[in-house]
């Protein structure tokens, strides 16, 4: 029994469609019919639709590139009203427009059997996309939707994104060449696997790569150099990397994103088991780059020294790194000079070091840390017996009371080095630090250059050195 008929890419035209309809009118076995690229037109579609009405077992119909227009879409939609088994509909390149999309949406809204719908290159705009979104809300089996080469724009893409919130079955959607920008693409990103190439401004290459990273668990190297990937695209890739532990090499150079280097290095840190030290000095990194590095630190079990000086990570970037320190058990040295972390960033780090038992060296030069920031470190020193080197040069420490708090933390007998160069602690601060030096059996170096210390301060320091016998 004949169940499938393929007459695609012929020239049967309207007359041929009429003959075919008559010939099949008593056939109750055909389940799949393929008539794409046949110049059938609107009138020919009417004949095909008449036959569809009489066929209750049709599961797939292909009428792509037949100039059926919105009227033809209506004929097909009406014919499918009583069909309860249709699974695949291919109507690409037919100029059905928003009106045709509306007819189809109304007919297919409750078709629980529909698996794939192909409507590429049909002059469908945002209005048509809104109609079609109703199918996504109600259909429980649709896995593929192809709307490439239409003009749905951001508004249409957002309608589809909203419909997908509760859709758990759609796995592949093609929205390439639809005038979609990064704003709308961001709404769609986590929902389905889809194609967005040709949409200027939405980092389509990065989105495609992110799906490859997220879904292909065998890929170990990915080269994306020179692909016009911007910061938004880098974000998509970074998100996918969080759940991928297989990718070992990521190449992103020659892209506009300022984050490409941080992403590349993050992958290296996660997988290079021989890496002991890592340094990266670039103002282009920022807080988002610090976020990517921090994710890798959580999984790294070999890196002992990390230098991110002059990377402009700020308070937020410092928070990401501080969170990583809560879980990292191997890092012993962290250098964050010239990063604008200020008092809030100092608090994040100090809080993390209250429970971190491996970090021994912390360098925070030129970070606008003031007296309040110093107090956070002092409170931490009372509980942390492992941090031995603390460098706070060129900050805004001036209150001798803040310096005096270090004395209260002198229970940390293993504290070996403190540097407050180029602050303003003055004679009173020098006196209090002298007390620390005088009574410490461990401290071996103190740096107090450029601190407005006069004769009185030097006197107290000299007195302390007379009693300090550490060698």
Q: Is 113 exposed, middle or buried (0-12, 13-18, 19+ CB in 10 A)?
A: middle
230 occurs within a structural domain: yes
The yes-or-no verdict on residue 57 having pLDDT over 90 is: yes
437 occurs within a structural domain: no
Q: What is the DSSP letter of 361?
A: E
The closest of 124, 3, 13, 139 to 59, measured between CA atoms, is: 3
The yes-or-no verdict on residue 207 having pLDDT over 50 is: yes
Q: How far apart are CA 85 and CA 92, in angstroms?
A: 21
The yes-or-no verdict on residue 183 having pLDDT over 50 is: yes
pLDDT at position 463: 81
Q: How far apart are CA 399 and CA 91, in angstroms?
A: 76
The set of residues, in sequence order, having a beta carbon less than 8 Å from that of 122 and lying 6+ positions away, is 91, 92, 93, 94, 95, 96, 97, 100, 101, 128, 150
User: With contact defined as beta carbons under 8 Å apart, do 374 and 402 qualify?
Assistant: yes
Confidence of residue 239 (pLDDT cuts 50, 70, 90): confident
pLDDT at position 196: 47
pLDDT at position 53: 94
Confidence of residue 411 (pLDDT cuts 50, 70, 90): very low
In angstroms and rounded to an integer, the radius of gyration of the C-alpha atoms of the chain is 34
pLDDT at position 28: 83
The yes-or-no verdict on residue 382 having pLDDT over 80 is: no
245 occurs within a structural domain: yes
Confidence of residue 461 (pLDDT cuts 50, 70, 90): confident
Confidence of residue 469 (pLDDT cuts 50, 70, 90): low
Mean pLDDT of 308-337: 93
Cα-based angle 181, 183, 189 (whole degrees, multiple of 5): 95
110 occurs within a structural domain: no
Which range among 126-140, 213-227, 322-336 shows the weakest confidence by mean pLDDT?
A: 213-227
The yes-or-no verdict on residue 471 having pLDDT over 50 is: no
> In Å, what is the CA distance from 417 to each residue of 75, 190, 232, 309, 445?
84, 48, 42, 20, 5
Q: Do you know the residue count of the chain?
A: 471
Q: How far apart are CA 230 and CA 201, in angstroms?
A: 9
The yes-or-no verdict on residue 36 having pLDDT over 90 is: yes
242 occurs within a structural domain: yes
pTM over the 0.75 mark: no
- Phi and psi (nearest 5°) for 102? -65, -45
pLDDT at position 250: 77
Mean pLDDT of 377-394: 85
The set of residues, in sequence order, having a beta carbon less than 8 Å from that of 123 and lying 6+ positions away, is 95, 96, 97, 98, 150, 151
Which range among 58-62, 153-157, 387-391, 449-453 shows the weakest confidence by mean pLDDT?
A: 449-453
Which range among 25-39, 185-199, 274-288, 296-310 shows the weakest confidence by mean pLDDT?
A: 185-199
Confidence of residue 192 (pLDDT cuts 50, 70, 90): very low
239 occurs within a structural domain: yes
Higher-confidence residue: 324 or 228?
324
Q: How far apart are CA 421 and CA 397, in angstroms?
A: 10
Domain with 229 in it: 203-257
231 occurs within a structural domain: yes
Is beta strand 172-174 parallel, antiparallel or unpaired with respect to 193-195? parallel
Look at the block and give the residue holding tokens 């990377």: 311
DSSP assignments along 12-34, one per residue: -HHHHHHHHHHHHTT-----EEE
Question: pLDDT tens digit string along 267-280?
Answer: 888 777 788 898 88
Helix (H) or strand (E) run with residue 270 in it: helix 260-271
235 occurs within a structural domain: yes
State the average pLDDT for the chain.
Answer: 83
pLDDT at position 279: 87
Q: How far apart are CA 121 and CA 144, in angstroms?
A: 16
pLDDT at position 254: 76
Q: Which residues of 139-172 are buried (b: 16+ CB within 10 A; e: fewer)?
A: beebebbbbbbbbbbbebbbbbbebbeebeebee
Task: End-to-end CA distance of the chain: give it in Å, rounded.
Answer: 99
Sign for the CA dihedral angle at 194, 200, 201, 203 comes to positive
Domains held by the chain: number: 1
């Amino acid at each position: 029994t004949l169940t499938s008929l393929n007459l695609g890419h012929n020239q049967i035209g309207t007359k041929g469609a009429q003959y075919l309809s008559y010939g099949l009118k008593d056939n109750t076995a055909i389940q799949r019919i393929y008539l794409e690229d046949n110049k059938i037109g609107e009138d020919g579609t009417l004949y095909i639709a008449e036959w569809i009405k009489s066929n209750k077992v049709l599961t797939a119909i292909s009428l792509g590139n037949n100039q059926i227009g919105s009227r033809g879409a209506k004929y097909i939609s009406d014919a499918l009203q009583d069909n309860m088994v249709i699974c695949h509909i291919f109507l690409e390149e037919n100029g059905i427009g928003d009106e045709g999309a509306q007819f189809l949406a109304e007919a297919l809204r409750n078709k629980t059997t529909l698996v794939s719908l192909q409507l590429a290159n049909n002059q469908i705009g945002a209005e048509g996309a809104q109609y079609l979104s109703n199918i996504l809300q109600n259909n429980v089996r649709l896995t593929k939707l192809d709307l490439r080469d239409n003009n749905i724009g951001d508004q249409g893409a957002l309608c589809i994104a909203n419909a997908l919130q509760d859709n758990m079955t759609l796995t592949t959607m093609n929205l390439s060449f639809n005038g979609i920008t990064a704003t709308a693409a961001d709404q769609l990103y986590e929902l389905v696997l889809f194609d967005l190439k040709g949409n200027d401004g939405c980092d389509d290459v990065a989105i495609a790569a992110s799906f490859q990273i997220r879904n292909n668990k065998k890929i170990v190297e990915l080269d994306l150099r020179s692909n016009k990937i911007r910061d938004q695209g880098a974000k998509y890739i970074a998100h996918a990397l969080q759940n991928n532990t297989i990718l070992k090499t990521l190449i992103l150079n020659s892209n506009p994103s300022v984050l490409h280097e941080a992403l590349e290095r993050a992958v290296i840190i996660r997988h290079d088991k021989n890496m002991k030290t890592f340094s990266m000095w670039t103002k282009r990194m920022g807080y988002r780059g610090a976020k990517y590095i921090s994710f890798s630190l959580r999984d790294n079990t070999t890196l002992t020294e990390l230098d991110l000086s002059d990377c402009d990570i700020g308070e937020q970037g410092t928070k990401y790194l501080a969170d990583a320190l809560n879980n990292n058990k191997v890092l012993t040295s962290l250098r964050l000079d010239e990063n604008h972390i200020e008092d809030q960033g100092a608090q994040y780090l100090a809080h993390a070091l209250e429970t971190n038992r491996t970090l021994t060296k912390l360098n925070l030069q030129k970070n606008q840390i003031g007296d309040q920031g110093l107090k956070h470190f002092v409170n931490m020193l009372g509980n942390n017996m492992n941090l031995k080197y603390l460098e706070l040069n060129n900050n805004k420490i001036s209150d001798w009371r803040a310096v005096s708090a270090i004395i209260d933390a002198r229970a940390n007998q293993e504290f070996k080095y403190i540097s407050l160069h180029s602050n303003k602690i003055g004679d009173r601060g020098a006196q209090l630090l002298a007390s620390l030096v005088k009574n410490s059996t461990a401290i071996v170096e103190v740096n107090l250059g450029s601190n407005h210390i006069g004769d009185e301060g030097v006197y107290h320091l000299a007195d302390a050195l007379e009693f300090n016998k550490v060698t």
